[in-house]
Amino acid sequence: MERFVVTGGSRLTGQVLVPGAKNSVLKLMAASLLAPGTTTLSAVPDILDVGVMADVLTALGATVRRDLAAGSIAIDTPAMPGAAADPALVRRIRASVAILGPLVGRRGEARVALPGGDAIGSRALDMHVNGLRRLGAVVDIEDGALVARSSGRLQGAAIWLDFPSVGATENLLMAGAVAKGTTVIDNAAREPEIADLCEFLTEMGAGIEGIGGSTLVIEGVDELRPVTHETVPDRIVAGTYAIGAVMTRGDVMIRNGRAEHLGIVLEKLTAAGASVETGADGFRVSIQDQPRSIDVVTLPYPGFPTDLLPQIIALEAVSQGISLITENVFDSRFVFCRELLRMGAQLRTDGHHVVVRPASRLVGASVVASDVRAGAGLVLAGLVAEGMTEVHEVHHIDRGYAGFVENMRALGADIRRDQVTAAA
């Protein structure tokens, strides 16, 4: 077990490079199952979840070669991948459910254990199941696994999602890409990672219209071809460093960050008093005075992303004035608040709202990361707390942030990674 030890008082300054998006690359890897041969992805972040997904694909018969130095991964998919995913691997990351659509679409059968991942609330798979059924698959739960079967090729259909679910949109996109005829997904998720997957499938030979919109029209093809593709930059990683710059009254150039993917986030930081400058190579965030409080409501894209909720709560804990934060996507995001209270934050949760009042100070404490983004938020809080903060369960942070300690240190943070002994 490891922990991050953060000593507060440093101002983040300098530049940081944003890698490819965790929330995209894992789905691109799953989509490689749709085409026999070698698919190559670049701008692949060096995070734990990529390794787990590589193991999932390997267990299905693919050969995966990862070049950490080059930030690339090559996936050689066999003519007929396996149908049953390794349950132990699937339960480690939520994104593993993304293999469901490609497998049932490609080989007519898939068995995927109900997935694990972050402890941030219930994320039902009803829309995945109902959508696949609309495409002609028979889907059941057997022995703790989703089992989907199709007696022949999937058939295109009109599908309406009750909520713009990212995961359901992705699975149905991938299944529809090899279904016979036209598939229409209404109320589809619009995240940049969805657009990246659409562009990837288009390069592979699928016909997709409406990319970036809430209605996607997919013309299925008999077979797809392997391609080389660059992963879209990680907007959540970029947003985390941007919020860190504002919290520490710093000045950070976020290279390879796409400001257009963080529209409402950067608007909120500007309202808090930050200066945001965009350029061809990314964007710069700076501030000199204590940030002002802002109200935030999380919503599906292009709304404020739920994956930046812990970080923005940490910011509000050291801002002027009272703020109201509302979470509309996951029902257990506020688990993070219990840890922030240990550091002296003045906040109160009520259902899916949290009211944050300015604290006279935050103080270092021993806290636990319950998920990827909560861990990042606790590190940011530690940057502005008095004394030393120990963040435990940092494997969560490693699941989504490549080189987090090294990047923070390069920006001037006093942070290190330590082994936790039994006595600790």
The annotation places the binding site at 22-23, 94, 307, 329
User: Binding site for phosphoenolpyruvate: residue ranges?
Assistant: 22-23
- What is d(CA 212, CA 208) in angstroms, rounded to the nearest whole number? 11
The separation between the first and the last C-alpha atoms of the chain, rounded to the nearest angstrom, is 10
Q: Is 118 one of the catalytic residues?
A: yes
**Burial tier of 158 (Cβ tally within 10 Å: 0-12, 13-18, 19+):** exposed
Residue 101 · residue 174 · CB < 8 Å = yes
Do residues 24 and 415 make contact, with C-beta atoms less than 8 angstroms apart? no
Q: CA–CA separation, 262 vs 45, rounded Å?
A: 19
Please give the annotated binding residues for UDP-N-acetyl-alpha-D-glucosamine, written as ranges.
Answer: 94, 307, 329
Q: Which of 118, 251, 371, 398 is catalytic?
A: 118
Give the residue numbers annotated as catalytic, written as ranges: 118
